[in-house]
Amino acid sequence: MELLIVSLASLLAGLVDSIVGGGGLILLPALFAAFPGAPPATLFGTNKSASIWGTAFATVQYSRKVVMPWRSLLPAAGAGLLGSLWGAWLVTQVDPSLFRKALPVLLVLLLLYTLVKKDLGRSHAPRFAGSQEAWVAAGIGLVIGFYDGFFGPGTGSFLVFACVRWLGYDFLHASAAAKFINLFTNMAALVLFTIKGHVWWHLALAMAVANVIGSLIGTRLALKHGAGFVRHVFIFVVLALICKTAYDTWLR
């Protein structure tokens, strides 16, 4: 029964995550509910072992339909991987509770900005070109990769917003770029969790298959309905993240 529950949650998480990020909002609570006595690190590692496959398949699907700026995304992904490793190491040295308290506030500001700027992310008009875009993208990858390794919730949504706001992408292109960068930040975290023995591989396979199925469905929906659809899902997911993180921080 536990395997069925977490596999269904993984499918839904893959669907949401492939569109705009935030799949952990669905899968992690399901894992904690199904296995309340398990070490948190093991559940985080098992989550990564499933979600990374959905992210990989979403990246491939997007790359077939959307023009991917590889010269900018490759440095961003490399910087994201390094930032994630740095953040994951730092979390073993200091308490990340300050991030937890600040996160709902940051998400509210992000949501308000998106709502006020009604044209934000509706048209694809890159602000930079060539090496300049690569440097900006690498900076985004490093900062958000560090956040992913150090704390994590909402990483995909932060990546989408950063690509829209600072690179000038529409929400569809931003989601495609975010998937590729997020693939590498997840990879760094998964390697660390695996080395420490914090992955339940007997669950990971079924969850990975379900996550890929959800990811393929979500990617097709995003490609079919375009940037406007992705923007609406983005707003919904950020609102859900605000509710979840505010509850965990101040009410729990």
Q: Using pLDDT thresholds of 50, 70 and 90, give the confidence band for residue 168.
A: very high
Query: Tell me, what's the pLDDT at 98?
Result: 66
In the chain the first and final C-alpha atoms are separated, in Å, by 27
Q: Give me the mean pLDDT over the 152-181 stretch.
A: 93
What confidence score (pLDDT) does residue 120 get?
87
90 pLDDT more than 90: no
Q: In this structure, which amino acid lies at residue 158?
A: F
CB 84 within 8 A of CB 245: no
pLDDT at 96 over 70: no
Q: Describe the crossing of helices 155-167 and 201-246 by its angle, rounded to 10 degrees.
A: 60
pLDDT over threshold 90, residue 83: yes
**pLDDT at residue 115, rounded to an integer:** 92
- Res 61 pLDDT > 80: yes
Instruction: Please enumerate in sequence order all residues whose Cβ is within 8 A of that of 243, keeping only pairs 6 or more positions apart, or say none.
Output: none
Q: What per-residue confidence (pLDDT) applies to 1?
A: 78
Closest CA relative to residue 55, chosen from 178, 219, 193, 179: 179
- Alpha carbon dihedral 195, 29, 240, 252, in 10-degree steps, equals -110
Q: How far apart are CA 42 and CA 153, in angstroms?
A: 16
**What's the token pair of residue 151?**
């704390």
CB 236 within 8 A of CB 244: no
**Whole-number pLDDT of residue 250:** 82
User: Average pLDDT of 152-171?
Assistant: 92
Ranked by mean pLDDT, the top range of 21-25, 109-113, 207-211 is 207-211
For residues 119 and 59, is the Cβ–Cβ distance under 8 A?
Answer: no
Average pLDDT over residues 28-47: 87
For the CA atoms of 125, 183, 138, 101, the dihedral, rounded to the nearest 10 degrees, stands at 100
Proportion of the chain above pLDDT 90, given as a percent: 60
C-beta atoms surrounding 166 within 10 Å = 15
Amino acid making up residue 92? T
